[in-house]
Each structure stands twice: as C-alpha cells, then as structure tokens.
Amino acid sequence: MSNYLVYVGTYTGPVSQGIYVYKLDMATKKLAPLGLAVESTNPSFLAIHPNRRFLYAVNETSTYNGQNSGSVAAFTIDRKTGKLALLNVVSS
C-alpha cells in the first residue's frame, strides 16, 4: 500500500493561513498532519493535476489586484515534503 499527500484549503483568518497538507497512510487509514503547505488567502477549492506535480486553488476573495474578482493560483508540489511553491496567480 502507498502513502498519499492530502491537501486541505481553509478560510483564512486569525488561526488558518492557507493550504495545509497531511499524509494519508493507506495501511492504517490514518491522516498525519505535516503542517502548512503554503500561505494563501481563502483557498476554498483545490484540484491536483493528474500528473500530481501541480495543485490549483480557487481563492475566494472579494478583490484581486484592486478589482472585484477572486483568483486562481497554480503551485508546484514538492512530493517529498508536501510543500507548495507558487507558479502563477490570475483573476477569476
């Protein structure tokens, strides 16, 4: 059996800071927290590319770059640590 990385987006505020990562052990069916993968504002929907190298996040905000819009961010996934690195952000 394998282990998987599981990502959870959060509404940010005093406690939450963005996207968190967990390790899922398929043998035990348990999640182990690995911590904050990346700071991001209100990442409410996440999708991982089929090649598992990229993660996309919809940032649910009322403004982006001074306009009435949210945004979509693309990240690379470090498959050893689970950390995310920002590639690009565009208005949604």
Instruction: Give residue-wise pLDDT tens across range 50-89.
Output: 999 999 999 999 888 888 899 999 999 999 999 999 999 9
Sheet (strand 18-25) strand order: 3-9, 18-25, 30-39
Q: How many domains does the chain have?
A: 1
3-state SS class at 82: coil
Residue 19 is part of which domain span? 3-91
pTM: 0.93
pLDDT by residue (tens digit) across 2-24? 899 999 999 999 999 999 999 99
- In angstroms, rounded to a whole number, what is the distance separating the alpha carbons of residues 14 and 73? 22
